[in-house]
Amino acid sequence: MANKNIVILGGDGIGPEVTAWGNDVLKNIADAFGHTFSFQNHLIGHAAIEATGNPLPDETLDACKAADAILLGAVGHPMYDNDPSKKVRPEQGLLKIRKSLGLYTNIRPIQIFDELAHASSIKPEILMGSDILFFRELTGGIYFGEPRERQEDGEVAVDTMRYSKMEVRRIAEKAFDAAMTRRKILHSIDKANVLESSRLWRETVNEVAKDYPEVKLVHMFIDNAAMQLIKDPKQFDVVVTGNMFGDILTDEASQIAGSLGMLASASVGDSVGIYEPIHGSAPDIAGQNKANPLATILSTALLLDISFGMKEESQAVIDAVDAVLKDGFRTADIAESTTPKDKILGTDAIGQQVVDRIKAAVAS
C-alpha cells in the first residue's frame, strides 16, 4: 500500500476536462489496488494569468516541488498567438516549471493500438508493429538558449541553440538505458552537417555509446528522420534528440498513433515528474464534451509506472483503454467513416468506459 501526493494542473482549454478523467482513473486505481492517493488542484498558464497575473504562481510551484507526481492538462490560449506585445504568456509557465523542477527528459511512447491503424493517414501495413520510444531533451537548446531577443527596430530577432556536454550526456544515458530493455537500437537525431551544437551532440552521444556496446547506435539528420518516420516507422526503437527537433518529430509521430489525442508523455529529471498528453489546449472545443481524454489517461499509466514503480497498476490502465477501443468506442478525432454513431462518444462517456473496465478487471 502506498501513500502518494499528486498535483493536478488542469491548465487551459480542454485541460481541466481531460485531467478530470485522469484524476478519476487514478482514484479508481488507488481503490482497486489498496493505495492512498491525495490530489491537489493548482493553476498554470492562461488560467493562472487571469487569476494572479503570473503563468506559474509561487503556490503552484511550491506544491509541485512537494508532490510525488504531477498530472498536467494543457497550456495555451489563442489571444496570445498573434499578439507579440503580450509579455506575459501561458507557455512561460510551462517552460519555467520544467526548468525549476529540472525536467530535462521528455519521454513519449509511440505505439499504435491495432484498432486505430485505419485512423491514421498512413497505410496500415506501414504502421502495424510500430513501437517507438522518444527521448526529447527538454530544458536546453533553442527554447532556452541565450541570447534571445527582438532588436529595437523590430526587424531582427535572435534565438540561440546552445547545448553542453553534460546536458547531452545525461539524456543520452537515459535513452541508452531504455534501449537495453527493448530491441537495443538507438537513433540519435541531429543536424551535425550544419550546426555546431549538433556536432557536439553527436560527439557526446558517441562517447556515451562506448558504455553500451550491445546497443546499435544510428545517427540520422533531422530532415531524413522526418521522412523516415513516415516512410518506415518500424525501423525505429528508441530515439534521442534535442528540444526543438523532438518537439517537431513527436508531433509528426502522432500520425502513427492515429491522433494527438492518443499520445501520452512524461517529463522527468532526478525528482518529481510531470505527465501530460502531447495535444494542445484546443480552445475551439473546450467545454463541449468533445475532447479525447485517452492520452491523459494513458499519461496516468506512465505516472504509475515511472514515478511510482506500479507496473501492474499501469498495465491495468493500458489494458482498460485497449478494451474500450476493441469494443469499438471512439471519440470524434479517432472515429472512421464506418464507425457506428452510437460508438462515437464524448469526453465523459469514453472516460467512464475506461473507468468501468478498470473496475471490472480488478473485480474479476
Q: What is the pLDDT of residue 24?
A: 98
List, in sequence order, every beta strand (DSSP E) within 147-281: 149-150, 157-158, 185-190, 216-221, 238-241, 264-268, 274-277
Annotated active-site residue in 68, 104, 190, 191? 191
Q: What is the pLDDT of residue 152?
A: 80
Q: What is the pLDDT of residue 119?
A: 73
CA distance 173 to 289: 41
**Does the annotation count 251 as an active-site position?**
yes
CA distance 17 to 309: 27
**Does the annotation count 143 as an active-site position?**
yes
What would the pLDDT profile of 218-249 be if each residue is shown by its tens digit?
A: 999 999 999 999 999 999 999 999 999 999 99
Indicate the range of 41-45, 99-103, 115-119 predicted with least confidence: 115-119
The residue ranking higher by pLDDT, 288 or 2, is: 288
Q: What is the pLDDT of residue 5?
A: 98
**Does the annotation count 191 as an active-site position?**
yes
Annotated active-site residue in 4, 24, 68, 143? 143
Q: What is the pLDDT of residue 58?
A: 97
Q: What is the pLDDT of residue 184?
A: 98
What would the pLDDT profile of 153-185 be if each residue is shown by its tens digit?
A: 889 999 999 999 999 999 999 999 999 999 999
For each of the domains in the chain, give its residue range(s) and CATH number, in order of start: 1-105+265-364 (3.40.718.10), 121-257 (3.40.718.10)
Annotated active-site residue in 31, 131, 251, 319? 251
**Does the annotation count 223 as an active-site position?**
yes
What would the pLDDT profile of 17-28 be if each residue is shown by its tens digit?
A: 999 999 999 999
104 pLDDT higher than 80: yes
Under the banding of pLDDT at 50, 70 and 90, the label for residue 123 is: confident
pTM of the shown model: 0.87
Q: What is the pLDDT of residue 115?
A: 81
CA distance 344 to 295: 17
Q: What is the pLDDT of residue 1?
A: 66
261 pLDDT higher than 80: no
Annotated active-site residue in 12, 24, 237, 247? 247
70 pLDDT higher than 90: yes
Provide DSSP, 4-27.
EEEEEEEESTTHHHHHHHHHHHHH
CA distance 311 to 1: 14
Number of Cα atoms under 13 Å in the Cβ half of residue 235: 13
| pLDDT mean across residues, the chain | 93
CA distance 58 to 72: 17
Kindly state the average pLDDT of the residues 77-88.
81
Annotated active-site residue in 223, 232, 270, 327? 223
